[in-house]
Amino acid sequence: MRIDGLQYANWSEKIFRQLREGRVDAVHVTIAYHETFRETVLNFERWNRWFETYSDLILKGTSARDIDIARKTNRTAIFFGFQNPSPMEDDIGLIEILHTLGARFMQLTYNNQSLLATGCYEAEDSGITRMGKQVIKEMNRVGLVVDMSHSADRSTIEAADISERPIAITHANPFEWSPALRNKKDDVIQAVTQNGGMIGFSLYPHHLKDKSACTLQSFCEMVARAADTYGVTHLGIGSDLCQDQPDSVVEWMRTGRWSKEIDFGEGSAASPGFPKMPSWFQDNRDFDNLEAGLRDVGMSADEVAAIMGGNWYRFFDDNFGASVP
C-alpha cells in the first residue's frame, strides 16, 4: 500500500497516470491555501469534473474504505485538505459543511498568525487562541484532522494536547536533521506522536538536508532514526510534491492577499520559485526508489510497509469519521 500524506501538483491526466504507474493508492491533496469558502467550493467543483472525466484513474476519498476500493479497481483515492483555515472564514459552523463536502485535513495556520494559532514564521508564538480551542473541538467532532505542518512550536504542542483525537504534521522533517523553520523540533514531534499523531516526511527540497542535493540514503537514514526515536507506527510520507506548478504559484502560496510584497519564505531572493526536486524523487513514479532506500538502510519489510502507507491507512480509518458521542 502506498499513501502520500500531502501533494500540491498542477493536476492533469499526465499526473493521474503517473500516480497509477507509481502504484500510489491514495494521496492527500491541498485544495486551498488562502481561498475563501466560496472559492474553495469552486475547487471542489473542479475536482468533481476530474473525477467524472478520469473515473478510470481516480476517485474521491472520504474514508479508508475508499482506499480499498481504489486498490481493487486500480485507481488512486484523492483526499482533500486545506493548508490554511481560510475556507471556514470566521464561522465555526462551516467546519461541518466543509467536512460534508469532502475535506479531511485543515491546517490551523499557514506560516502567519491566524484566528486559531501561530504560524512558524512569526516572532512570537502565543499558542492556540480561544477560537482555536473551539475549532479543534468541532474538528474532532466531525472528523476533520488538525494539521500543524506550518505552525509554530508552542501552538503545535498545545494543539496535540488540546485535541481529543490525534493530530498530524502531514509534511515536514526533523529540525535537527535539517534546520528549516518549517521543520519540527524533537519536543514538537514527541508531543504529536505521544498523543497518537502522525508525521509525514517531506521531499520538498527546502525541508531536506543539502536541499536538492540531498541523497536518498541521507533521507532514509533520517526516517530510520525517527522510527527508533518516535516509533515506526507514527511515521509516513508527505512528499509535498508540487509537480508542474509554475513559479507564479509560489507567490500565491506564500503571500495570498495578506501582503503587497513578495514573501520568499523558505527560498531566497535569488531563487524565489520552486526548487529542483532531488534526482531520486521527481514524480509519483519514484516511490519505488523510496521503498528500496528504506530497505537499504536496514528497515524491515513490515516497517517499510507501515511507512509507505499502512500507518496513514490506520490513521485515516480512525479519524475521518464523526466522533462517538
- Distance between CA 62 and CA 67 in Å, rounded? 9
Q: pLDDT grade, residue 110 (50/70/90)?
A: very high
Place of cell 473515473: 55
- Distance between CA 259 and CA 251 in Å, rounded? 10
Instruction: Answer yes or no: CATH 3.20.20.140 is held by domain 3-319.
Output: yes
- Distance between CA 235 and CA 312 in Å, rounded? 8
Q: What is the pLDDT of residue 272?
A: 65
- Distance between CA 287 and CA 273 in Å, rounded? 24
- Distance between CA 80 and CA 154 in Å, rounded? 26
Place of cell 479519524: 319
For the chain, percent of residues with pLDDT exceeding 90: 90
Q: How many residues does the chain have?
A: 325
The β-bridge partners of 184 are 174
Q: pLDDT grade, residue 259 (50/70/90)?
A: confident
- Distance between CA 226 and CA 99 in Å, rounded? 32
> Per the structure block, which three cell numbers stand in for 174?
526533523
Q: What is the pLDDT of residue 313?
A: 98
- Distance between CA 129 and CA 136 in Å, rounded? 10
- Distance between CA 287 and CA 59 in Å, rounded? 20
> Per the structure block, which three cell numbers stand in for 111?
506560516
CA-closest candidate to residue 323, choices 143, 196, 62, 106: 143
Place of cell 541523497: 215
Find out whether 235 and 197 touch, Cβ atoms under 8 Å.
no
- Residue-wise pLDDT tens digits, 168-211: 999 999 999 999 999 999 999 999 999 999 999 999 999 999 99
- Distance between CA 142 and CA 253 in Å, rounded? 27
Find out whether 161 and 191 touch, Cβ atoms under 8 Å.
yes
Q: pLDDT grade, residue 269 (50/70/90)?
A: very low
Q: What is the pLDDT of residue 262?
A: 74
- Asked whether the predicted pLDDT for residue 271 surpasses 70, the reply is no
- Residue-wise pLDDT tens digits, 222-254: 999 999 999 999 999 999 999 999 888 888 888
Query: What does the pLDDT average to over 129-145?
Result: 98
pTM of the model: 0.96
The chain-wide mean pLDDT, for the chain, equals 95
